[in-house]
Amino acid sequence: MRRFVIGQAKNLIDQTRRRRPQPHHHNNLRLLSLLRPSASDSTTVSSPRLFSSSSSDMPGSDSSSSSSIPVTLDSINPKVLKCEYAVRGEIVSIAQRLQDDLKTNKDAYPFDEIIYCNIGNPQSLGQQPITFFREVNKLAWYFCFWFVPCIGHELTCAIHLSQVLALCSHTALLDESATHGLFSSDSIDRAWKILDQIPGKATGAYSHSQGIKGLRDAIAAGIEARDGFPADPNDIFMTDGASPGVHMMMQLLISSEKDGILCPIPQYPLYSASIALHGGSLVLSEENQRDIVDFCKKEGLVLLADEVYQENVYVPDKKFHSFKKVARSMGYGEKDISLVSFQSISKGYYGECGKRGGYMEVTGFTSDVREQIYKVASVNLCSNISGQILASLVMSPPKPGDDSYDSYIAEKEGILSSLATRAKTLEEALNKLDGVTCNRAEGAMYLFPCINLPQKAIAAAEAAKTAPDAFYCKRLLNATGIVVVPGSGFRQVPGTWHFRCTILPQEDKIPAIVNRLTEFHKSFMDEFRD
């Protein structure tokens, strides 16, 4: 049997070779092998009989060792090669090497730490988790730990609950704020409600591919409260952050290189990256929501709305409006426009990046296309349950009157007002720099200053075979330990040079960052001024 099958496989490979001759021998073969061994495989394998079944099986005696490494850049998916992801690109790799070297080699550098301003990763820069979200999530696991052994035994459960509460009461040993932070009454209540929504209270089980129904109910209710228009829990697909949702939709919607995507510029590299991965191509995009809705409606475009920064608005006179709210307020319903809204727990004031939670709200698709979206979601089974719980919590935070409401609001407003302050300080500092102009950050987590680079610097960059903005950013990193992203990764207007810098370093670090940035820029300009 084995020989027979090997024989068949060899024939297939030969057919493949005949079908598509290739330049290099090691590229001849585009067959991969994929194995899930059973216990029985594993053992027959280790029997010497097979090993010595033919002398040509002996290591070393193989004639075609040139074909040993079958995969080269020429032979992998060209779409992967095309894909660029600046936010975690070369500069981040350099930063990671520097960070490793700093541990042992502190004196070799003019800085003692790497400050990652390349990506919206608040807690890596010291932002505190929102107590309520963490405590409910923690308590859900905590209770579940007690609960699981006694599913179906209400009496035992009651005892377990009292035990948990006894435990809670004894946290009086800890300082007051911590006790409150850990066990506010509404978070305990919420944790139990959430557990009740999880089939069998099994937080360690795969959920429905769209996410736990009860949690999707909470999200839909949150969207309704936000927009004033109905939302359907069956339109919610929970994801491990926004990125997998975006990939899912790209995979579904892009069927060839001829498919175009209208994107805002500057754009987040996730889109150019995943569009490239799935074989689409960018074109310019428009900035006005209502115009865009009309435009999409008229032209029959699918509107994919990244709304992960819906909580990050720093100017009092401005307010977030979801595309769905805008479309519905224009009188466009399910039948008028196909709209997907992406949300994530990684942004906002919560910044729970490491938990990988989010959802997409999918409206205006026919039921047969919806089934295809569900199928694609199913292939990865489900998103992680902690992330699902947090996603439901950020869309249903504490309400006035809840035990934890005041502390929750204090934390939320503390973070958002601090972000606004940091944005202003950094923007003003950047605008003071010679040849740098920076717009006011009214939302999100980033500044995107434009640098008017001297010709000498551009020439030096060309000599170093790198883009001028990348050249500037590498110099910045090596001189200050500050990691930013070159504008070229964001499809900046050709001939202009920018970098993206987050506003996330903690307030007490901002002055030092401003100083380092200012000193570096001065010396850079002194070196390259025309």
Q: Cβ of residue 237: shortest distance to a second copy, in angstroms?
A: 13
Q: Is 483 helix (H, G, I), strand (E, B) or coil?
A: strand
State the Cα torsion 258-263-266-271 to the nearest 10°: -70
Q: Which is nearer to a second copy, 448 or 520 (CB)?
A: 448
Which residues have C-beta within 8 Å of that of residue 514, sequence separation ≥ 6? 425, 426, 429
Q: Which is nearer to a second copy, 349 or 520 (CB)?
A: 349
Query: What are the strands of the beta sheet with 485-486, ordered from one edge?
Result: 446-447, 499-502, 485-486
Contact 360, 239 (CB under 8 A): yes
| DSSP states along 492-529 | PPTT--BEEEES-S-GGGHHHHHHHHHHHHHHHHHHH-
Binder among 18, 55, 64, 530 for a second copy (CB under 8 A): 64
Residues 345-364 binding a second copy (CB under 8 A) are 346, 351-356, 364
Binder among 94, 109, 111, 141 for a second copy (CB under 8 A): 141
Q: Which is nearer to a second copy, 352 or 469 (CB)?
A: 352
Q: Which is nearer to a second copy, 126 or 511 (CB)?
A: 126
SS (H, E, C) 232-285: CHHHEEEECCHHHHHHHHHHHHCCCCCCEEECCCCCCHHHHHHHHHHCCEEECC
CA distance 106 to 115: 15
Residues 82-101 binding a second copy (CB under 8 A) are 83, 85, 87-89, 96
Q: Which is nearer to a second copy, 300 or 400 (CB)?
A: 300
Which of 234, 201, 196 has the alpha carbon at shortest distance from 216?
234
Binder among 207, 480, 488, 502 for a second copy (CB under 8 A): 207
If one asks whether residue 108 binds a second copy (CB under 8 A), the answer comes out as no
Q: Which is nearer to a second copy, 241 or 449 (CB)?
A: 241
Which of 265, 118, 139, 236 has the alpha carbon at shortest distance from 191?
139
CA distance 180 to 292: 46
Which residues have C-beta within 8 Å of that of residue 95, sequence separation ≥ 6? 114, 116, 118, 477, 481, 483
Which amino acid, one-letter code, is at 440?
A: R
Q: Cβ of residue 68: shortest distance to a second copy, in angstroms?
A: 5
Binder among 285, 455, 496, 523 for a second copy (CB under 8 A): 285
Which of 275, 300, 295 has the alpha carbon at shortest distance from 285?
295
Q: Which is nearer to a second copy, 502 or 521 (CB)?
A: 502
Binder among 298, 465, 495, 508 for a second copy (CB under 8 A): 298
Q: Look-up: residue for tokens 């769209």?
A: 210
Which of 424, 268, 407 has the alpha carbon at shortest distance from 347?
268
Element (H, E) at 181: helix 176-182
Q: Which is nearer to a second copy, 248 or 458 (CB)?
A: 248
Mark 27-46 with x for binding to a second copy (rule: CB under 8 A) and - for no binding: -xxxxxxxxxxxxxxxxxxx
If one asks whether residue 205 binds a second copy (CB under 8 A), the answer comes out as yes
Contact 490, 451 (CB under 8 A): no
Q: Which range in 371-379, 459-467, 482-490, 511-519 contacts a second copy by CB under 8 A?
A: 371-379
SS (H, E, C) 417-461: HHHHHHHHHHHHHHHHCCCEECCCCCECCEECCEECCCHHHHHHH
Residues 238-277 binding a second copy (CB under 8 A) are 240-241, 243-244, 247, 251-256, 258-264, 267-268, 270-271, 273-274, 277
Residues 386-405 binding a second copy (CB under 8 A) are 386-387
If one asks whether residue 229 binds a second copy (CB under 8 A), the answer comes out as no
CA distance 502 to 122: 9
Q: Cβ of residue 367: shortest distance to a second copy, in angstroms?
A: 11
Q: Which is nearer to a second copy, 329 or 478 (CB)?
A: 329
- Between helix 242-253 and helix 269-278 the angle, nearest 10°, is 40
Binder among 161, 301, 460, 512 for a second copy (CB under 8 A): 301
Binder among 21, 23, 60, 401 for a second copy (CB under 8 A): 60
If one asks whether residue 291 binds a second copy (CB under 8 A), the answer comes out as yes
If one asks whether residue 464 binds a second copy (CB under 8 A), the answer comes out as no
How many Cβ atoms sit within 10 Å of the Cβ of residue 494?
Answer: 6
Q: Which is nearer to a second copy, 224 or 291 (CB)?
A: 291
Q: Cβ of residue 530: shortest distance to a second copy, in angstroms?
A: 31
Q: Which is nearer to a second copy, 9 or 464 (CB)?
A: 9
Say how many residues touch a second copy, by CB under 8 A. 197
Binder among 91, 191, 382, 453 for a second copy (CB under 8 A): 382
Q: Which is nearer to a second copy, 169 or 185 (CB)?
A: 169
Binder among 98, 134, 219, 469 for a second copy (CB under 8 A): 134
If one asks whether residue 158 binds a second copy (CB under 8 A), the answer comes out as no
CA distance 183 to 378: 36
If one asks whether residue 336 binds a second copy (CB under 8 A), the answer comes out as yes
Q: Cβ of residue 123: shortest distance to a second copy, in angstroms?
A: 4
Residues 113-132 binding a second copy (CB under 8 A) are 119, 121-124, 126, 128-129
CA distance 68 to 64: 7
Mark 309-328 with x for binding to a second copy (rule: CB under 8 A) and - for no binding: x--xxxx-xxxxx-x--x--
